[in-house]
Amino acid sequence: MTDIAPTAFLPSLETDLLAVDTLRFLAADMVEAAQSGHPGMPMGAAPMAWTLWSRHLRHDPADPEWADRDRFVLSAGHGSALLYGLLHLFGYDLPIEELRRFRQLGSRTPGHPEFGVTPGVECTTGPLGQGLAMAVGMALAERMTAARYPEITGHRTYAIVGDGCLMEGVSHEVASFAGHLGLGGLIVLWDDNEITIDGAVGRSCGDDQVARFAAYGWHTDVVADGTDIEAIDAALTRAGSDPRPSFLAVRTVIGHGAPGVAGTSKVHGSPLGAERLAQAKQRAGWSLPPFAVPAEVAATCAVLAAIGGAEHAKWRNGFEAFGAAEPKRAAEFGRAGARLLPAGALAALGAVAAASPRATRQSSQACLDALRSAMPELVGGSADLAGSTGTVGGEVVRRDDFTTSAIAFGIREFGMAAILNGMSLHGGFRVFGATFLVFADYLRPALRLSALMGQPVIYVLTHDSVAVGEDGPTHQPVEQVESLRMIPGVRVLRPADDAETALAWQLALTRVDGPTALILSRQSLPQLDMACDGDGARIAGSDAATHHHSPAARALGAPAARALGAPVGARESRAGGTRRIDIVATGSEVALAVAVRNQLWADGYDVRVVSALDRARFTPDPSAHTISIEAGSTAGWAGSVDLAIGIDEFGHSGPGDEVLAHFGFTEAAVRERIRAYLDGAP
Amino acid sequence: MTDIAPTAFLPSLETDLLAVDTLRFLAADMVEAAQSGHPGMPMGAAPMAWTLWSRHLRHDPADPEWADRDRFVLSAGHGSALLYGLLHLFGYDLPIEELRRFRQLGSRTPGHPEFGVTPGVECTTGPLGQGLAMAVGMALAERMTAARYPEITGHRTYAIVGDGCLMEGVSHEVASFAGHLGLGGLIVLWDDNEITIDGAVGRSCGDDQVARFAAYGWHTDVVADGTDIEAIDAALTRAGSDPRPSFLAVRTVIGHGAPGVAGTSKVHGSPLGAERLAQAKQRAGWSLPPFAVPAEVAATCAVLAAIGGAEHAKWRNGFEAFGAAEPKRAAEFGRAGARLLPAGALAALGAVAAASPRATRQSSQACLDALRSAMPELVGGSADLAGSTGTVGGEVVRRDDFTTSAIAFGIREFGMAAILNGMSLHGGFRVFGATFLVFADYLRPALRLSALMGQPVIYVLTHDSVAVGEDGPTHQPVEQVESLRMIPGVRVLRPADDAETALAWQLALTRVDGPTALILSRQSLPQLDMACDGDGARIAGSDAATHHHSPAARALGAPAARALGAPVGARESRAGGTRRIDIVATGSEVALAVAVRNQLWADGYDVRVVSALDRARFTPDPSAHTISIEAGSTAGWAGSVDLAIGIDEFGHSGPGDEVLAHFGFTEAAVRERIRAYLDGAP
């Protein structure tokens, strides 16, 4: 199915031009009604968008979820009005009333395209460069799907990018990656309007973009007149038959047709104003009222949509034949597409256990090794740290072999994360990406989008504290764990040993509505013997059971959160005795907490250790002194515990245990701090 | 002084080769002693480093602070052992004992080069790509210095970069920027060893890097044999006379001379091992003990260092002549280099005040306008948002005119911040950069380095809450303010009106040991009448004075922190009455707090409003109910106040006031929440 038929219906040039003006004025009307938005980009890019949608894009507006549809990404997301116009014209569930409510609270037409809000919007764009990056991820997912299911796969990924997208660093990372893998089927149109918000592109950039993409190994082409529909069409056709990813530079005029401001930054992000808009319509011979769609355009779009529906039906027939011939593979395709875990996956995780100490990054490698055969849709890799992060996965994907499941993302953290978003949005895969925790800062903008789009991307972040040691403060995270916990919708799990690492992987895999960050140690940690409640908190100590649940024994789905009591503030002493001490720790500090507890037991204290695998699920017990130990920022602990032992300054280069000792992370120093606290406590 | 004389002393080729081996084995010995580190890069790149340092670099090891020295940046910071070897050989204050203590706690030879720790280290490198970016910043600062002080300025900036640097997105942003401005004098050597941590570069990257840099407008050259000192020298000489920035691809073998592992990733980041190191030395005919420097090499380096000292003396003479002829300009040069504020700067800030409401981004623009003539060393710009962020500054720097003070960084947030770090490190300028607060995520890795290096870069971050409105959740910060507060050493200031914005600029300018983030509103805010303590907290309300200090009236330097009392937990009610209510708010929420306070006054409550311009300086008063209002994450407030009113989810597209109302940021809703809290409070 690699042979994609172009749409079989060619509107007249007259209709084409009418449709282009329809898109232009719908966008301008939307911005005018909202008195907010970006008319310039839609007015300049309407011809390329129309040519693409009317002559090349293979989609079924009646079913935006069709697995083998072409993907379209408006990377220049500020041009959202253009996308909403297209979706409306082609019959997606986006009635004209929604266009009238552009940028209003609760509408399906937000200021920038948002995945999940508007049918047909493939991803959330607006943070520049990331749309292009997600398109690369979608194109990679297509190739990997085609390698597994060639009978039912063969679609393309299109993106329209602006100058901003191309200036952003992430464009380099992902264009280089796409060129390396030869992602044919990825076709990028550059809206080359020579204008940015502040003025001419030439004020800040002189790149030869075509030469640049050629240096990445892309097919490149230039359309000198971005209103020339036949030229755009021809370039798209040539691109479609090239085995490389394609970069088409399409020369446009921002705000095309807006008198006095076309071709200037004035038309980038402000309404035209009633008078100028009226003049533009007059010039274009446009006499319809605002938000009107000419009948001829509507009829044409209906035909094109029907053709898309027919293509889809044809594909569905093919899929049914495939299902009849290959029921197991077809079921697998459906299961992975629905993000259902295979039966054996969690059982495989349950088998992960070592008796001897090891780093949780190694525990995580064991989880991945166990999952690999059980869960073929689990794919991913690292930003050139496979060995270090415990994400070695056999042969990596190559331009001549997309059947393997390991991806060498290169030294491109941000690109990796944005590509993972694109792969997750494409569907059919569960994806993970790895780097050192400190470099989560490099990929943070994409992780935020994972959360905003509700994509279950799994971030494997290792070398999780100053215990990294000799590489020094640039490689030692301090504030990173806490700063990840702060992004809405991100689940942060910091496991203490094999059992918790397997549980963390289980929690990550069973989550389908958002990203999970696994925070893993570089250094070796002992295997602990602790009771486990299956949802992110374990208890060890005087009043905890000592048996150990294997994660696989747990039911799939989220058990109730653990509620340990009311918030700090309403404390009372235990009747007739010393108040209990709860030491809450995460990851590598749990073993330290256990060691300190043993000493405090010897000192006669009533102490319990809680492992807060998921800190968000931890609530202090008001009847206890609560002391936290985490080798990182105390900002998230300080207010809610009585004593927060952490690190609020940058680290130092030196052997890991010496650096930990420098910051007081030894049994003796922690015990002393706790005793000193207790001496002064009420 | 643009004509730079090459060093006048040419060692014999034999000495060159001996020096190269000295660098190789010093590095290998350091890694071996530490049993940690990266021997591969130094062994491969030693010839280019030696050629550069012995034949081109103009520096005075006796004075690493010489303003007109050439800068050398090891962007591939994991090769730190190479840099330490160079610094030691050339007589910087880095004795051999320090090399023996490589990567040990408290040594001057940390795992990655750290600015401020080792004399002669120009910047902290390790986070890949940022060294190249800082080199671009240094080269820009040189050009801008030369435009102001041509008589005493003419140095070059050299960088050695690895494949990792070139894969990182920031390399695109800054190389494009350098090409655009034609930053001749910037010479980048690419250690082209075809190896990354995980294996061959070809596993993840196929870029034609030379073509890529040519597309940015750089001079490019190739040295086919990276051990060929004459070829490297010739390429450096050609680069030195080219008006464009230069990119020299130098083909090397990682771990050169290490038997069995040279040319592989095995030698990237692990000690060679005693046996293999012995074999390598034997092969090279090296019979000296570890850490030994051949006398001939030492003598040669002493001569080269003396030549550098003589160059410096010559420059000093020139500077004295300049000072005699132009005492005022010479004094200005010295003042700015010492980061001393000019007399009029703070007075200029004191004049910033509007009676009518305006956004704090506009207040900030007024501050910049006032500072421009008073403080010529204040330079900066935005990532293509000058108008929106209030950082319009007249004509921007162009390749044919570096005399102006405004910089168009393009849509390159990360590159901008890293370039600012380089400019600040270069010295002679106070620098600022602006973008929308939500895109602080894009530049976060460079902001972390500002803090780690103690550089007083000023970040102007506007559109600081969901009040951004129609642009939607991708453009509405939620967790950003709190996540910036968490980076050690970053001062975060969120002013409420003109007076506080001027104070925030004053605090930012008077800080010389670290970065400051100014968090500014998009929306208009009233001018408040509040007492002000000059150090980040203002008080309005029943028991606060109503007079208003102008920032200019304050003494330079940090007044004592405001201490409002003991931490939450040891509360007591006021004798004989209702407990007082403290509403603490920041930025745009201060006016809301004041409005709510007025209503609560009418309801009979005893209420005070505190504006926590700098939240870090705020401590709750235990005798009061403390309620925080900030239109963002509550994570940093929740534990320490009684009621934290904030936003812990992503925003929505819609008019700003409607979005604020959706999240309960109206007088009525806040008043209701406070009353409900008080009804249930102890």
In this prediction, the residues of chain A whose per-residue pLDDT falls under 50 are 1-6, 541-577
The tens digit of pLDDT for each residue in B275-284 reads 999 999 999 9
Say which residues have a Cβ less than 8 Å from residue A590's Cβ, sequence separation at least 6. A496, A497, A528, A530, A538, A540, A609, A611
Give the span between the Cα atoms of A649 and A632, in whole angstroms: 9
Whose tokens are 């030879």? That residue is B109
Domains of chain B and any CATH numbers: 29-309 (3.40.50.970), 345-530 (3.40.50.970), 538-680 (3.40.50.920)
pLDDT value of residue A681: 81
Nearest-CA distance B465 → chain A (Å): 14
Give the span between the Cα atoms of A323 and A615, in whole angstroms: 45
Q: What kind and span of H or E run contains B459?
A: strand B458-462
For every residue of B247-272, DSSP letters joined together read EEEEE--TTTT-TTTTTSGGGTSS--
What does the CA dihedral A433, A437, A438, A441 come to, rounded to 10 degrees?
50
pLDDT value of residue A10: 86
CB of A103 less than 8 A from some CB of B: yes
**Which letter does DSSP use for residue B609 in this model?**
E
Find the CB nearest A180 among B164, B205, B382.
Answer: B205
Find the CB nearest A652 among B105, B126, B636.
Answer: B105
| B578 or A659: which leads in pLDDT | A659
Q: SS3 of B199, please?
A: strand
Q: Do A212 and B215 touch (CB under 8 A)?
A: yes
Find the CB nearest A411 among B167, B216, B633.
Answer: B167
Find the CB nearest A215 among B208, B412, B449.
Answer: B208
Give the span between the Cα atoms of A459 and B354, in whole angstroms: 48
Nearest-CA distance A438 → chain B (Å): 9
Tell me which residue of B667, B569, B665, B672 sits closest to B626, measured CA to CA: B569
pLDDT value of residue A571: 29
Instruction: Return phi, psi of residue A75, to 5°.
Output: -65, -35
Give the span between the Cα atoms of B46 and B434, in whole angstroms: 39
Q: What kind and span of H or E run contains A303?
A: helix A295-325
pLDDT of B392 above 50 = yes
CB of A439 less than 8 A from some CB of B: yes
- As for the ipTM of the complex, it is 0.94
> Count of CB contacts below 8 A, A vs B?
327
Say which residues have a Cβ less than 8 Å from residue A226's Cβ, sequence separation at least 6. A44, A45, A47, A48, A191, A192, A232, A250, A251, A252, A253
Q: Residues B93-117: what's their mean pLDDT?
A: 98
CB of A479 less than 8 A from some CB of B: yes
Nearest-CA distance A606 → chain B (Å): 22
Q: What kind and span of H or E run contains A484?
A: helix A480-485
The tens digit of pLDDT for each residue in B482-531 reads 999 999 999 999 999 999 999 999 999 999 999 999 999 999 999 998 76
**CA dihedral sign of residues A450, A451, A454, A457:** positive
Nearest-CA distance B198 → chain A (Å): 5
Residues 554-593 on B with a CB inside 8 Å of A are 568-570
pLDDT value of residue A551: 33
**CA dihedral sign of residues A50, A56, A61, A63:** negative
Q: What is the 3-state secondary structure of B169-188? A: HHHHHHHHHHHHHCCCCEEE
Q: What kind and span of H or E run contains B519?
A: strand B516-519
What does the CA dihedral B179, B182, B185, B189 come to, rounded to 10 degrees?
20
Question: Residues of A with CB below 8 A from B478's CB?
Answer: 488
Give the span between the Cα atoms of B593 and B587, in whole angstroms: 10
Helix axes A229-240, A13-34, angle to 10 degrees: 100
CB A388 within 8 A of CB A381: no
CB of A180 less than 8 A from some CB of B: yes
Q: Residues B155-173: what's their mean pLDDT?
A: 98
Q: Do A209 and B217 touch (CB under 8 A)?
A: no
pLDDT of B327 above 50 = yes
Which tokens in the block code for residue B148? 């102001």
Which tokens in the block code for residue B524? 């208009």
Q: Do B105 and A653 touch (CB under 8 A)?
A: yes
pLDDT value of residue A562: 25
Angle at B580 between CA B575 and CA B583, to 5 degrees: 165
* Burial of residue B546 (number of CB atoms within 10 Å: 0-12, 13-18, 19+): exposed
**Which letter does DSSP use for residue A280 in this model?**
H
Is A413 assigned a catalytic role?
Answer: yes
pLDDT value of residue B353: 86
CB A494 within 8 A of CB A480: no
Find the CB nearest B410 among A124, A167, A478.
Answer: A167
Burial per residue of A201-230, b for 16 or more beta-carbon CB atoms within 10 angstroms, e otherwise: bebbbbbbbbebbbbbbbbbbebeebbbbe
For residue A155, give Cα distances in angstroms to A139, A182, A312, A430, A441: 9, 15, 12, 20, 34
Measured between CA atoms, the residue of chain A closest to residue B195 is: A384
Q: What's the pLDDT band for B432 if we cut at 50, 70, 90?
A: very high
Instruction: Return phi, psi of residue B152, to 5°.
Output: -125, 15
Which tokens in the block code for residue B360? 């704090």
Say which residues have a Cβ less than 8 Å from residue B632's Cβ, sequence separation at least 6. B464, B465, B477, B478, B479, B480, B481, B482, B646, B647
Tell me which residue of B125, B197, B167, B166 sits closest to B453, measured CA to CA: B125
For every residue of B636-660, DSSP letters joined together read TTTTTSSEEE---S---SS-HHHHH
CB of B105 less than 8 A from some CB of A: yes
What does the CA dihedral B128, B129, B130, B136 come to, rounded to 10 degrees?
160
Pinpoint the alpha helices (H) of B519-634. 588-602
Q: Residues B288-317: what's their mean pLDDT?
A: 98
Give the span between the Cα atoms of B131 and B393, in whole angstroms: 28
Helices (H) and strands (E) in chain B, counts: 22, 19
pLDDT value of residue B530: 76
Measured between CA atoms, the residue of chain B closest to residue A483 is: B483
Which residue type occupies B603? D
Nearest-CA distance B5 → chain A (Å): 31
Task: Centre a 10 Å sphere on the Cβ of residue A540 and count the other Cβ atoms it contains.
Answer: 23
CB of B643 less than 8 A from some CB of A: no
Find the CB nearest B103 among A384, A442, A653.
Answer: A653
Task: Centre a 10 Å sphere on the Cβ of residue A4 and count the other Cβ atoms it contains.
Answer: 15
Question: Residues of A with CB below 8 A from B385's CB?
Answer: 197-198
Give the span between the Cα atoms of A308 and B515, in whole angstroms: 55
Angle at B49 between CA B47 and CA B54, to 5 degrees: 95
pLDDT value of residue B630: 98
Catalytic residue list of B: 413
Which tokens in the block code for residue B472? 């939607």
Whose tokens are 């200036």? That residue is A167
Give the span between the Cα atoms of B544 and B628, in whole angstroms: 18
For residue A206, give Cα distances in angstroms to A162, A623, B176: 15, 65, 7
Give the span between the Cα atoms of A233 and B330, in whole angstroms: 63
Angle at A636 between CA A630 and CA A638, to 5 degrees: 80
**Which letter does DSSP use for residue B534 in this model?**
S
Question: Residues of B with CB below 8 A from A111's CB?
Answer: 469-472, 475, 653
pLDDT value of residue B575: 37
CB of B474 less than 8 A from some CB of A: yes
Residues 288-327 on A with a CB inside 8 Å of B are none
Which tokens in the block code for residue B450? 């500002």
CB A168 within 8 A of CB A113: no
Tell me the pTM: 0.95
Residues 115-154 on B with a CB inside 8 Å of A are 124-128
Q: Do B396 and A203 touch (CB under 8 A)?
A: yes
CB of B388 less than 8 A from some CB of A: yes
Q: SS3 of A493, please?
A: strand
What does the CA dihedral B270, B276, B278, B282 come to, rounded to 10 degrees?
-120
Say which residues have a Cβ less than 8 Å from residue A56's Cβ, sequence separation at least 6. A6, A7, A70, A156, A158, A233, A236, A237, A240
pLDDT value of residue A532: 53
Give the span between the Cα atoms of A72 and A66, in whole angstroms: 13
Q: Do A652 and B478 touch (CB under 8 A)?
A: no
